[in-house]
């Protein structure tokens, strides 16, 4: 690694040179099964031929023009995103934190427009919303925040999956304008609400009763990862604002903030912007990603494969002391151990498998949507002995 890179990552000792499907090859020619997909980014795996063709054709014609002009590809992307989500409009940006920054600005402006001078947003413990100052302030991780004070004010934190805590804030605080949460927490440990439908509809009711916006951060859970286009679609609830990024562009940086109803009217000329956001190349990558997911039936496949992996791991790890719980929502899969286990990442790497550990104790798997059942079985067969040995 170059000495000229800032030390913001403790990198694994490997560098990849090519990929195909669910597989990556390093500089030595060794092959790895990718069960992380660039942290939920490469849903189509690596070098998907139709994605490569679409972005190659676009790059050869037009990469960037500026949002000062019409961008046909961005318009098509917005139409498609609204059609599959039920939202009304879209601001296209380049990353998850930018999508959340847009949502936070939108909520504040929504508050100011109705006379709330110091608008506040309810956020969750163990949440992750990004690394910019506002999104870091919204993130529920003291370690990530430490040293960056003063943080951005205007966030109120409550426990995840706790409606009563939100009701109590509603009773005593007149400045709240929105709730921002991940329907399934990713970095926080693949935390799935006990009853997602009841939790989200409870939050929806509180928002409606108080005139708040329900804002879902689907940066990790969105774009087919949980077996529906967006995780909220496992319920009857529709949010006012939703943010996307990770899987949206299959690795070409693109994020989006979607809004519906009154929230869709908040941003007007000059209130927000982005130089690169939704340029022809990024928009084409996102549009091709959505079209391939649809035409290849990857929504149903993600749901089925996720359950297959969870069940296979539950069987292979049955009765193993130290395995606390195995949970999933489609292809967001967490194996929680009773102890910190970041060392497993390197052991898996040596065994030719890419995984991740988050929240200290949770082995996190975010396989590409295109992974086959036999590859999934290979993942389980490689990971199981590593976990057993680690816990022995």
Ligand X SMILES: *Cc1c(COP(=O)(O)O)cnc(C)c1O
For residues 43 and 370, what is the distance between their CA atoms, to the nearest angstrom? 7
Map residue 117 onto helix, strand or coil: coil
What angle, 0 to 180 degrees and rounded to 10, lies between the N-to-C axes of helices 280-295 and 49-61? 160
Give the residue among 215, 144, 153, 219 at the shortest CA–CA distance from 186.
Answer: 219
Closer residue to ligand X, CB minimum distance, 220 or 284: 220
Q: How far is the CA of 119 from the CAs of 7, 107, 268, 337, in angstroms?
A: 36, 8, 19, 39
249 lines the binding site for ligand X (CB under 6 A):
no
Of 21, 38, 96, 249, which one interacts with ligand X (CB under 6 A)?
A: 96
* Number of residue whose CB is nearest ligand X: 96
Among 42, 74, 220, 284, binds ligand X (CB under 6 A): 220
Which of 33, 136, 196, 219 contacts ligand X by CB under 6 A?
A: 219
Query: Does the footprint of ligand X cover residue 182 (CB under 6 A)?
Result: yes
Count of residues that bind ligand X according to CB under 6 A? 15
Tokens 């195909």 label which residue?
A: 20
Task: Mark the segment that binds ligand X (CB under 6 A) among 91-99, 140-148, 331-339, 381-389.
Answer: 91-99
- Tell me if the bond preceding 150 is cis, omega within 30° of 0: yes
128 binds ligand X (CB under 6 A): yes
**Binding mask 286-305 vs ligand X (x if CB under 6 A, - otherwise)?**
--------------------
Residue of 38, 111, 130, 189 that binds ligand X (CB under 6 A): 130
From the number of C-beta atoms within 10 Å of its C-beta (0-12, 13-18, 19+), residue 9 rates as exposed
13 φ/ψ angles, rounded to the nearest 5 degrees = -80, 65
> Of the candidates 217, 240, 303, 336, which one interacts with ligand X according to CB under 6 A?
217
Annotated binding site for pyridoxal 5'-phosphate: 128, 217-220, 275
Interface residues toward ligand X, by CB under 6 A: 95-97, 100, 128-130, 182, 186-187, 217, 219-220, 245-246
């Amino acid at each position: 690694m170059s000495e000229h890179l800032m030390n913001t990552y403790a990198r694994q000792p490997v560098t990849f040179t090519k990929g195909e499907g669910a597989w990556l090859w390093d500089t030595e020619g060794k092959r790895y099964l990718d069960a992380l997909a660039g942290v939920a980014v490469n849903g189509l795996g690596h070098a998907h031929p139709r994605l490569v063709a679409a972005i190659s054709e676009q790059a050869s014609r037009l990469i960037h023009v500026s949002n000062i002009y019409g961008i046909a590809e961005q318009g098509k992307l917005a139409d498609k995103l609204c059609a599959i989500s039920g939202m009304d409009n879209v601001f296209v940006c380049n990353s998850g934190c930018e999508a959340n920054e847009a949502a936070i600005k939108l909520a504040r402006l929504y508050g100011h427009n109705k006379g709330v001078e110091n608008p506040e947003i309810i956020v969750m413990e163990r949440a992750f919303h990004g690394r910019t100052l506002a999104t870091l302030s919204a993130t529920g991780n003291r370690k990530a925040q430490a040293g960056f004070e003063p943080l951005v004010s205007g966030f109120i934190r409550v426990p995840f999956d706790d409606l009563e805590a939100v009701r109590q804030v509603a009773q005593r605080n007149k400045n709240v304008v929105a709730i921002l949460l991940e329907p399934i927490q990713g970095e926080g440990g693949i935390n799935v609400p006990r009853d997602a439908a009841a939790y989200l509809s409870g939050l929806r009711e509180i928002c409606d009763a108080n005139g708040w916006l329900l804002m879902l951060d689907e940066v990790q859970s969105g774009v087919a990862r949980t077996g529906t286009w967006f995780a909220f679609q496992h319920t009857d609830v529709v949010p006012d604002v939703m943010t996307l990024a990770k899987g949206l562009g299959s690795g070409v940086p693109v994020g989006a903030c979607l809004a519906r109803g009154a929230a869709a009217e908040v941003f007007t000329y000059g209130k927000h912007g982005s130089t690169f956001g939704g340029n022809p190349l990024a928009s084409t990558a996102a549009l091709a990603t959505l079209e391939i997911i649809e035409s290849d039936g990857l929504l149903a496949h993600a749901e089925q494969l996720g359950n297959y992996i969870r069940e296979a791991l539950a069987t292979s790890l049955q009765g193993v002391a130290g395995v606390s719980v195995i949970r999933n929502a489609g292809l967001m899969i967490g194996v929680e151990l009773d102890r910190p286990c970041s060392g497993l990442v390197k052991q898996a790497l040596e065994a030719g498998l890419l995984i991740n550990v988050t929240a200290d104790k949770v082995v996190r798997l975010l396989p590409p949507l295109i992974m086959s059942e036999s590859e999934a079985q290979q993942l389980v067969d490689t990971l199981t002995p590593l976990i057993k040995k680690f816990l022995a």
